[in-house]
Amino acid sequence: MTRELHLNLFLMPRGHHESAWRHPGSAPERLTDLALYAKAARIAEDAKLDAVFLADALVAPASGGLVASGTLEPITLLSALAAVTERIGLIGTASTTYSLPYTLARQFATLDHLSNGRAGWNIVTSWAPQAGQNYGYDTEPGHAERYRMAEDFMRAVDGLWRSWPAEALLDDRARGVWSDDSRIHPINHRGPFHRTRGPLNVPGSPQARPVYVQAGQSDDGRAFASEWAEVIFTAHMAKDTAQAFYTDIKARAAARGRPPQAIAILPGLSAAIGSTQAEADRVFEELDALTAPEIGLTRLSARFGGHDFTAVPLDRPLRAGDFPDPNQVEASKSRATGYARTALAEGLTLRQLLQRLAGARGHLTVAGTPERVADVIQDWFDSRAADGFNVMPPIIYQQLELFASEVVPILQKRGLFRTEYRGRTLREHFGLAPVETEERLTATA
């Protein structure tokens, strides 16, 4: 089977650089304006991208009012985008730590119905400090416990999506029979963290359940991904670490009896595009000139579980002792490890690290002509470092429009990326097998 490149739009309302909201090329609309998201989604759909991807956070940012914040809740927003798009997938982030399986199952089943089968769920375990306090908890669970909670959550919610298969909905007016209740059943899930009887009160949706997307890179995260994930959003600044991750995940999946094509691995890519290299370089230079170190310090601290970096000199090369032990971090363990490794390997100063993170928070950044950006994408794809990318434009709409109008046609001309959608569902975009409902599983047992 021929591999096909996959591209998602990771949509941040004015762009992924933390100063994009100040840049004159960024979207003029308010962050709460549906028109902003709708226009960006339609640009991505016109370019035949696989999906729009929305992140989420369960805490208000502690940025001293220096960074744009106040974005919308993903599932609600994607439901609105379903009405103004036709083919592009709609992937939303939701937490297994601070959600209830029955509620989340209803929400995503509804989104899948409203979008005619375009829903995807980015499964996260919510590492942000203080998130628990917003949900009535005095402390946040540790890293390992969050993944135990996630495993229990998945077994509950996956069962709920199988509890009312689409075949059970008859809507037979002539006979006066609405449903075949013999096919609808409770799941009676009683796990260590969640209990739910079922069945779900939303009929089986076009995909049976959303596409499972996941972003963990720690050992716990990789084990979880190898069992559940169908798409993985990962962060790598260098091709060698991306290749190692790619090889490891595919091997773990194979050990569970899953074929390589059952999981698409998509690193993040933030590309500044210009007609010349100098023009592209100026994009990041302009954005970096609008940011402030205290913003980056706050975000870096959060990734390391609240560690205070303010005593570290901004312009001295970083040392190992400047970081807490990443293995002891209970927040974003994999990202913290990557930040420390990159900074020490490249001899970065704290200021340089903060500038690197301001653009893409530990993801790959590229500045160059459309041909150079396409070359990087093809190189990573051909080298088995990626099955595609979560595209993270530093400025919305400016850089998104350039990626869609200049880079995508090059990838299409090279035969790497589709020129038209061949299916209607997100599963079809990613070339994933249909989900077997409980009814089908019983019939084939």
Cβ proximity of 196 and 153 under 8 Å: no
Here the tokens at position 114 are: 């409203």
User: Is the per-residue pLDDT at 249 higher than 80?
Assistant: yes
In our burial notation (b when 16+ CB lie closer than 10 A, e otherwise), range 308-338 reads ebeebeeeeebeeebbbebeebbbbbbbbbb
Question: Who has greater pLDDT, 218 or 61?
Answer: 218
Once rounded to an integer, what is the mean pLDDT over residues 142-163? 95
Q: Which pLDDT band holds residue 34 (cuts at 50, 70, 90)?
A: very high
Here the tokens at position 260 are: 């390589």
pLDDT of res. 398: 96
**Facing residues of 195 across strands?**
190
Cβ proximity of 127 and 332 under 8 Å: yes
Here the tokens at position 58 are: 């369960």
Whole-number Å distance between alpha carbons of 226 and 355: 33
Whole-number Å distance between alpha carbons of 363 and 93: 18
Query: Which one-letter DSSP state was computed for residue 349?
Result: B
Q: Which pLDDT band holds residue 100 (cuts at 50, 70, 90)?
A: very high
Q: Which pLDDT band holds residue 63 (cuts at 50, 70, 90)?
A: low
Whole-number Å distance between alpha carbons of 208 and 193: 24
pLDDT of res. 445: 28
Residue spans per domain, the chain: 6-269+381-444
pLDDT of res. 339: 78
pLDDT of res. 337: 75
User: Is the per-residue pLDDT at 443 higher than 60?
Assistant: no
- Say which range, 94-108, 156-170, 320-334, has the weakest mean pLDDT: 320-334
The gap from C-alpha 351 to its chain's centroid, in whole angstroms, comes to: 27
Render 354-423 in DSSP notation, one character per residue.
HHHHHHHTTSEEEEE-HHHHHHHHHHHHHTTS-SEEEE--SSTBHHHHHIIIIIHHHHHHTTSS-SS---
- Say which range, 302-306, 314-318, 327-331, has the weakest mean pLDDT: 327-331
Q: Residue 287: enclosing H or E segment and its boundaries?
A: helix 277-289
Q: What is the pLDDT of residues 108-125, one digit of tens each?
A: 999 999 999 999 999 999
Question: Who has greater pLDDT, 18 or 273?
Answer: 273
- Say which range, 36-45, 50-59, 135-144, 192-201, has the weakest mean pLDDT: 135-144
Whole-number Å distance between alpha carbons of 66 and 299: 12
pLDDT of res. 394: 95
Q: Phi first, then psi: give them for residue 106, nearest 5 degrees.
A: -65, -45
pLDDT of res. 333: 60
- For the chain, the residue count is 445
Q: What is the pLDDT of residues 203-244, one digit of tens each?
A: 999 999 999 999 878 888 899 999 999 999 999 989 999 999
Q: Which residues, other chains included, contact 314 with Cβ-Cβ below 8 Å and sequence gap of 6+?
A: 293, 349, 350, 351
Cβ neighbour number for residue 139 with a 10 Å cutoff: 9
Please provide the average confidence, as pLDDT, over all residues in the chain: 90
Can you give the three-state secondary structure of 117-146, one letter per residue? CCEEEEEECCCCCCCHHHHCCCCCCCHHHH
| pTM for this model (two decimals) | 0.88
Architecture of domain 6-269+381-444: Alpha-Beta Barrel (3.20)
Q: Report how far apart the first and last C-alpha atoms of the chain are (Å, whole number).
A: 28
Q: What is the pLDDT of residues 355-398, one digit of tens each?
A: 777 767 778 999 999 999 999 999 999 999 999 999 999 999 99
Cβ neighbour number for residue 188 with a 10 Å cutoff: 10
Whole-number Å distance between alpha carbons of 25 and 211: 34
Whole-number Å distance between alpha carbons of 184 and 167: 10
Question: Who has greater pLDDT, 222 or 300?
Answer: 222
